[in-house]
Structure 1
Amino acid sequence: MNFIKATKMKFLILILLLVVLSGCTDAKVSNQNVSSSSNLKVHFLDVGQADSILIQFPNGETALIDGGNREDGGFVVGYIKKIGINKINYIIATHPHEDHIGGLPEVIKNFDIGKVYMPNKTSNTKIFENLLKEIKNKGLKITRAKGGLSIIDTDDLKFTIIAPNSEKYDETNEYSIVNKLIYKNTSFIFTGDAERDSEEEMIKLGYNLKADVLKVGHHGGRTSTNYEFLKRVNPRFAVISVGKDNDYGHPHKEVLERLNRMGIKVFRTDELGTIIAASDGHKIDFNKDVANNNMVKNKKDNKIFYIGNKKTKVYHVPTCKSLPKQENRVIFHSREEAEKAGYKPHKNCIE
């Protein structure tokens, strides 16, 4: 009997050791399908040559960092509604350029909003006026963003502002709000369009910049993601929000070379469409089969074809600035296919 009891006791001790050890894994970053058990999700929305990032926090709250261009408002609203969100707890307008705040007035009109964070930088543009108007219409107040300001601060979840850190900059991009998100053993940095001056300030002020995922600054522009800043972040993965064949040549080859030299895996919205990262606090999973919301590629020759508008019966090249809303799009693999279906070419982008 004593032998049986001793055997049982050894077995119980072994089980307890396995349970304890299983809870002590280091953070890992993998490139697998997004798991339904993940409780933090970061959506890098495909808004072309613009920025919009939706965050679903494990505490049930949500944040939206930027809203793309003006014409992206409907897409951003539709995307958020489709995944069942009716309240955005934190709106973060990184800086007052149209490709970052353009869709936010539409978002504010359509959702219950908690807090709005903006830098101490104004603009005389119509879209900036519209944003302020919608904020006022909802009875919201603007919280001025500055480095060191905490948005969420719990043991397992921290969402903070680490820039801007000065009152005056020569470039509007430098006013960009930069956020760091930590969930247990995983972390992200979202940089807006912050450039060299802001990056150097963050280094000088001693912020802990280490992160697993970096949202590359200014769509991959050469004046952002400078080498010293990149070394401090030392990410495993980088996400670039950028439009295909854009007029700026983004992402610049210098930035891609910096990322490549450090062995950082790069995800680009112009190549992959909307990119989703999910974290259980110990590992980060990226969706492998990301859908390209704007284009369809031929698997054989990798060419991009035509996007038709179901309402106007007009077809466009994928880089056209007058593309229809997502729900009105139809894909054609050739001009002949489009015209057989009764569609006419768009005069500005094709003829």
Structure 2
Amino acid sequence: MFRRRMTALFTVMLLIFTFSGCTSFPHSEFSNAQKSYDSITDNCQLPAISSEDLSSKLVVSFIDVGQGDSIFIKTPSDKTMLIDAGTPEMGERVVNYIKKQGVRKIDVLVGTHPHTDHIGGLPEVIQNFDISKFYMPKVTTTTSAFENVLKAAKAKKLPIYVAKAGVTLYLGTEIEAKMLAPNSSYYEDLNNYSAVIKITYGDTAFLFTGDAEKESEREMLNENYNLKADVLKVGHHGSSSSSSWSFLKEVRPKYAVISCGKNNEYGHPHRETLEKLSELGITVYRTDECGTIVAVSDGKTVSFFRIK
């Protein structure tokens, strides 16, 4: 039965993926839990803002999906991108949030890597929106979450493009968007396959790192990429397996956003990560404390809000 199921899965993949040569191998989805650490400061008293006040700006919503990631981006020219969609249970929440912004089409959809807390909600998204381009890294797993993404994409006849360093994403003429990772074709840990995306608008920049860990961070540093960003989506929910000193010092963010679930079993964010961010004077926002966090750029400065 297992052999027949796997044969069917790989048949689906051959029909839908625009790349070939993927390999499947077992991975552990999560690192061991460590004791969590309270926030250094309370940054959750965010002013409210309505969707109507956000026109002609770059709006980045870090959607509260519990222990997972989902980031919705809307540009001044109304181009849209969604990076991840949390677990399967959070798919409807992500869809509803996007629809409330008056959006019916997603120009760029990215599944950073095939872990359930990142791609689990993607089938719901694919079913509810017109998608122009869909990216995932060139790696497979045997999870039902991954299989369901493939099935949803196949049903919509949506090809999957390879997410890798060097890929340029089109989000309008005023936005520069590029993938900086993954830089290798094989990693022992699935987290390091994470698509890392940098978006620049005017004098401001955002860096979204998925669950990229220190190995991927080291590769980006070795490639001498321009990693400087005003806002860093902290890797792997604030785990100590990410956010090396050298990486943080190169990015030099003013703000860091950590997406994690309240009282999660993994202890995210880890004490070590929070202490590094504090020592570097970085203002931290956490979805487990603040709920959905909205960062708004006018091309010169970045401000943080909550949606009314």
TM-score with structure 1 length normalisation? 0.72
Query: How far has the Cα of 1:61 moved from its partner?
Result: 1.0
Find the aligned partners of 1:37 and 1:239 in 2 and give their Cα distance.
Answer: 23
Structure-2 residue corresponding to 1:12: none
Letter in 1 for 2:138: N
1:110 match: 128
Distance between the aligned counterparts of 1:196 and 1:133, measured in 2? Answer: 32
One-letter code aligned to 2:147: E
Secondary structure in 2 matching 1:201:
helix
Query: Match for 1:156: what amino acid?
Result: E
Which letter maps to 2:265?
D
Could you say if the C-alpha distance between residues 240 and 114 of structure 1 is closer, same or farther in structure 2, counting changes exceeding 3 Å?
A: same
| Cα distance in 2 between the residues matched to 1:102 and 1:153 | 24
SS at match of 2:170: strand
Distance 1:205 1:44, change over 3 A: same
Equivalent residue in structure 1 for 2:299, among 276, 281, 306: 281
Counterparts in 2 of 1:108 and 1:155: CA distance versus 1, 3 Å: closer
Partner residue in 2 for 1:259: 277
SS in structure 1 opposite 2:54? coil
Partner of residue 249 from structure 2, selected from 231, 234, 240: 231
Secondary structure of the corresponding residue to residue 188 of structure 1: strand
Unaligned runs of 5+ in 2: 1-45
Alignment partner of 2:200: what SS? strand
1:60 matches 2:78: yes
Residue 76 of structure 1 contacts residue 107 of structure 1 at CA under 8 Å; is this kept in 2?
A: yes
Query: What displacement does 1:59 show?
Result: 2.2
2:231 to 210, 213, 228: 213
Matched, 1:242 2:260: yes
The whole-number CA distance in structure 2 between the counterparts of 1:265 and 1:194 is 21
2:186 is aligned to 168
The alpha carbon displacement at 1:148 in A equals 1.2
| Deviation string, structure 1 residues 243-266 (Cα, Å, up to 9, x no partner) | 010000000000000000000000
- Please report how far the alpha carbon of residue 211 of structure 1 lies from its aligned counterpart in structure 2 after TM superposition: 0.2
2:143 is matched with which residue? Answer: 125
Map 1:338-349 to 2 at 5 A: none
**Residue ranges of structure 1 left out of the alignment (5+ in a row):** 1-30, 292-351
Structure number, greater radius of gyration: 1
- Fraction of identical pairs, as percent: 54
Worse overlay, 105-114 or 31-40? 31-40
The Cα offsets for residues 191-242 of structure 1, whole Å up to 9 and x where unpaired, read as 0000011000000001000000000000000010111000000000000000
After superposition, the CA RMSD in angstroms is 1.5
CA contact (8 A) 1:37 1:280 kept: no
Give 3-state SS (helix, strand or coil) of 1:75's partner.
helix
1:83 and 1:110 mapped to 2: Cα distance?
Answer: 14
Instruction: Report the AA paired with residue 157 of structure 1.
Output: I
User: Aligned partner of 2:141: which letter?
Assistant: S
Q: How many residues align?
A: 260
What are the residue-to-residue correspondences of 1:162-201 with 2, within 5 Å?
162-201=180-219
Give 1:267's aligned amino acid: Y
Give the 3-state SS of the residue equivalent to 1:80 in structure 2.
helix
